[in-house]
Amino acid sequence: MVGLISPASRDLLENWLRHLSALGGVSENTIEAYRHDLAGFFAFIGNHHGGAVGLSPLKSVTTSDMRSWMTHERDRGVAARSLARQLSAVKSFFRWFAERDGFEPTAVLATRSPKFQKKLPRPLAKDAAKAMIETVETQQPKNWIAARDVAVLTLLYGCGLRISEALGLKGKDSPLPDVLRIKGKGGKDRIVPVLDAAKTAVDRYVKALPFDIDPDEALFRGARGGALSARIIAKSMENARMQLGLPATATPHAMRHSFATHLLEAGGDLRAIQELLGHASLSTTQAYTAVDTARLMEIYAKAHPRGQG
């Protein structure tokens, strides 16, 4: 396969990979995956046109070439998810290449990614969600940091907030009101009821906080007083799940899934849960919850008795 790639193309690929490494934030495993994906793409283009692929053929890749490549990958058993990842790598490379050499990469960039069902984090059982909140509290040497982590997880699980939404709260949001107006994805506002447990957890954190609260600054702070990062909460949950023997799917986002699933299991209305989560589509909310089909049908029958006839 590598023999079908010209030295110039191989050098170009390595330059791009070095560029990605220099930018930071890209793991070595990802770099290797990109190298493999692009080498495979180059080899296909070479085979497709009957010769080693150089820079000129790459600049001339057509919509037909892209379709043929994707068909070839599917025919050799590449799953839709993996093909979507390969296409993403090819597009990323061509954006950089086109900017560097000044050509139009529309044929590549306009190629549509194959559809696949996104894997969602599995929700935690009710006792596991409770144990997670209790365990993060015991891990921190400082009381205010322990109270902070409990408050954040309580907002995720008790109010169904995204981690970005919880960390986006400002000092002026404390003490928490009975309802929060949350600006979610796409700038859409939604109203979220606040449980007493969430109010209590945030009040406890604020009382323990060693920093002054500025109304327009982040409510949740890092150890040095700056805005708290999502990575810190993820790390706290990672340590807790290892202690509890929970799977790697026990993430901050999984707490939000747990909120939705447990509400639905309790007989909550799917459309009401959709609004609480800020989902644009009801189908997204259905996919988001881990309630079995029989239970869903039971809930639907109760909500829509006319549907039984």
The H-assigned helical ranges of 50-142 are: 55-59, 63-75, 80-101, 106-109, 126-139
Question: Is 256 annotated in the active site?
Answer: yes
Question: Is 279 annotated in the active site?
Answer: yes
Quick check: 82 pLDDT over 80?
yes
Q: Which domains does the chain have, with CATH numbers?
A: 2-109 (1.10.150.130), 126-305 (1.10.443.10)
User: Which of 19, 185, 235, 295 is an active site residue?
Assistant: 185
| Token pair in block for residue 119 | 């894997």
User: Which of 59, 72, 122, 253 is an active site residue?
Assistant: 253
Q: Which long-range contacts (CB under 8 A, 24 or more apart) does 271-280 make?
A: 273/160, 275/190, 275/191, 276/160, 276/190, 276/192, 276/193, 277/160, 278/182, 278/184, 278/185, 278/188, 278/190, 280/186, 280/188
Give the least confident one: 14-18, 50-54, 303-307: 303-307
Task: Map residue 165 onto helix, strand or coil.
Answer: helix
Which pLDDT score is estimated for 267?
Answer: 61
The residue type at 120: L
| Token pair in block for residue 21 | 């490494």
Whole-number Å distance between alpha carbons of 156 and 166: 7
Percent of the chain with pLDDT strictly greater than 70: 77
Helices H, strands E: what count in the chain? 15, 2
pLDDT-derived band at 305, boundaries 50, 70, 90: very low
Residue 195 main-chain phi, psi, to 5 deg: -70, 155
Q: Residue 189's Cα: distance from chain center in Å? A: 20
Question: Is 185 annotated in the active site?
Answer: yes
* Inter-residue contact 81 to 248 (CB < 8 Å): no
Q: What is the pLDDT of residues 196-233, one digit of tens each?
A: 888 999 999 999 999 999 999 999 999 999 999 999 99
pLDDT-derived band at 171, boundaries 50, 70, 90: very high
Question: Is 36 annotated in the active site?
Answer: no
User: Which of 148, 204, 221, 256 is an active site residue?
Assistant: 256
User: Which of 162, 199, 204, 241 is an active site residue?
Assistant: 162
Task: Give 99: exposed, middle or buried? Use CB within 10 Å, 0-12, 13-18, 19+.
Answer: exposed
User: Which of 148, 204, 241, 279 is an active site residue?
Assistant: 279
Q: Look at residues 226, 222, 213 and name the one whose alpha carbon lies nearest to residue 173.
A: 213
